[in-house]
Chains A and B, each alone.
Chain A
Amino acid sequence: MRTAPHSSSPRSAFLLISPTWIVLGLLFLAPLAIMCWLSFQQRGLYGGIEPGPTLANYVRSFESSYAVIYARSVWIAVATTVICLVVSYPVAYYIALKARPERKNFLLALVVIPFWTSFLVRTYAWMFILRDQGVINSLLMSLGVIHEPLPLLYTPLAVMIGQVYAEVPFMVLPIYASLEKLDRSLLEAARDLGASAAAAFWRVTAPLAMPGTVAGIVLVFIPSLGTFITPDLLGGAKGMLVGNLIQNQFGPALNKPFGSAVALVLTAFVLASLWAYAAWARRRGEELAL
């Protein structure tokens, strides 16, 4: 390996990453440690804490009454991720490979523009679109298509719509980045060797854009699994997800130890899924090499 002429000493390397360590340490590692400690304590009166240690919070988090919430959360997160993938791939493909170069930045800006408005405001906007007297229902009623307003708001569908809308940019951008790097001559080579446009996509484009696709899936799946604003505003009382469960424990339910335990179980589940995926991908890579 070649050494850069001004290779950084260990000290300057440390200085370079120290801001990251400070931010991560104060805002991520320290709260995580506190939650870890909390999860083994007992609930006190009025949101206080009685010293533990106890495993009761973890035992309770696996009770069957919570299973339906977990299942609903996983189902909505998976559906959101799949819909985001289906919606985002063509957009990313078009911007990366089909759009004229001078228009790319404009199209990417369109993808990012929703971030200029607060997430909360955008979610409220969906309430106005989806409610009984909202844009969709009043339009359909005035056209005579329906006579009763469709129940759109406070349904799992509403949560999914809001969630997909919020997460699509996080799927588009990494897939775009992967496709943009793709060497076009590889696609010509595939065509030259007899592959149709579709075959060239499945055998060359899709596998080479896999890193960006996986990044998009992770970036959408994880926040969707833990979301609480979207189900809170669009999902109604019956649509509680694990994010709301945790939020409730830290808020109205005044049970921080139990909330911490659920949050850590959720974290463990996410890490386990990522690890399982990585193991599967590695095994598949090895199979291909044989």
Chain B
Amino acid sequence: MNDVILRLGAVEKHFGATAAVNGVTLEIARGEFFALLGPSGCGKTTLLRLIAGFEQPDAGRVVLDGADVAGVPANERPVNTVFQHYALFPHLIVAENVAFGLRYGKPKIENPKSSIEEILKLVRMEGLGARKPDQLSGGQKQRVALARALILHPKVLLLDEPLAALDVKLRKEMQVELKALQRRVGITFIFVTHDQEEALTLADRVAVMNLGKVEQVGTTEEVFERPRTKFVADFMGAVNFFDGFVVRPEKMRLHAAATPGAVEGKVESKVYQGETTRWLVRAADGKLLTAVEQNDGVSDAVSRLKSGDPVWVKWNKRHEVPMEEGRHA
């Protein structure tokens, strides 16, 4: 990677006896949209707080644009945060919220009034500068939080579960908007999420975290299609584990009649999910296999199968993803 904006070197953070972040090394490129993905308690939020400066590492280096910032307090780091519940100042109107950090900025911004208007326009909040935060919808609060951070031109923008507080429909809209916004401003975005789908939709690259460590870093496609560890495979929804390899459920094909090279089993259950149907099949050897079939109307014979019916499961050898065993055992 030639243009690194943020380098984490063997960063550690302990709270009492527990290691929240246990030796994380990462490089994030300038202009990248990067996701820290993992279940709750995996250390992703602590890692974000270490980058923001709300926590200081017990060991390791946090190098921001060439300067080691470990030990530098949050207010002196050229990094800004969009908080999970936005943390807008309730006693200030939108314009004052957005202007909050301007007086500390270096160099001083020449015309604060016009840059506030400009940034509100960028997040599609023009004309709402006089509102108080409690007069805004969830999506609008999100936009103000973005504007308040982006107006300071941070080297890295940190987002803590940025869409978790929004309802499903709004979340989908904001995903698209956030991605477009990041492209337009060109600032490096690092966001924390527990939602693998959100990470896939938004991010260029993902670090999957578990127990304070990074399990795998890669492009969204790499992490999704070629998970290296059982944990990553499982977290990304690849649930058909075999001896030494895993197969994603949407790569499994079902057949209503005996097929050469297929595993024979019985339908255990099926869950209709709209675009797809999720099948659980009990193989002859007792193993439970999961297959996801498109509801495209091609194979009526399969879609008519009921619980207890015999079924044949087949997959392509090249979809077998080898697992690294005992990586963090």
Residues of A at under 8 Å CB distance from B? 183, 185-186, 188-196, 199, 203-204, 207-208, 288-290
Contact = CB atoms under 8 A, between A and B. Distances in A.
12 contacts: A185-B84, A185-B85, A185-B87, A186-B90, A188-B83, A189-B83, A189-B87, A189-B88, A190-B100, A199-B104, A203-B100, A289-B132
Interface stretch (B73-81, B217-225, B275-283): B73-81
Contacts, number: 69
A188 B148 CA distance: 14
A204 B73 contact: no
Contacts of B76: 194
B82 to A, nearest CB: 9
Interface in B89-108: 89-93, 96, 100-101, 103-105
> 4 tightest CB-CB pairs across the interface, nearest first?
A194-B104, A193-B101, A189-B87, A185-B87
B271 interface: no
Nearest to A184: B87
A2 B105 CA distance: 44
B90 A208 contact: yes
B85 A194 contact: no
Nearest to B90: A208
A29 B96 CA distance: 45
Contacts of A193: 75, 80, 100-101, 104, 148-149, 152
Nearest to A285: B91
Nearest to B54: A188
B83 A191 contact: no
Contacts of B298: none
Contacts of B53: 191-192
Contacts of A204: 89
B284 interface: no
Contacts of B73: 191
A187 to B, nearest CB: 9
B100 A191 contact: no
Contacts of A191: 53-54, 73-75
Chain A interface mostly helix, strand, loop or mixed?
A: helix
B52 interface: yes
Contacts of A208: 90-91
A188 B87 contact: yes
Given A188-B83, A194-B75, A196-B75, 6 more contacts: A185-B83, A186-B89, A192-B53, A194-B101, A194-B105, A195-B104
Most buried by B among A183, A194, A195, A199: A194
Contact of B87 (A186, A199, A290): A186
A153 B285 CA distance: 95
B168 interface: no
A192 B85 contact: no
Most buried by B among A183, A189, A196: A189
Nearest to A289: B93
B111 to A, nearest CB: 19
Contacts of A207: 91
Contacts of A188: 54, 74, 81, 83, 87
B17 interface: no
Contacts of A194: 75-76, 101, 103-105, 152
Nearest to B131: A289
B169 to A, nearest CB: 22
Contacts of B103: 194
Nearest to A210: B91
Contacts of A183: 85, 87
A111 to B, nearest CB: 27
B130 A289 contact: yes
Contacts of A186: 87, 89-90
A189 B81 contact: yes
Nearest to A290: B130
B271 to A, nearest CB: 34
Nearest to A194: B104
Contacts of A192: 52-54, 74-75, 79-81, 149
A221 to B, nearest CB: 24
Contacts of A196: 75
Contacts of B79: 192
A219 B230 CA distance: 63
Nearest to A183: B87
Most buried by A among B73, B91, B96: B91
A163 to B, nearest CB: 32
Nearest to B81: A192
A205 B257 CA distance: 70
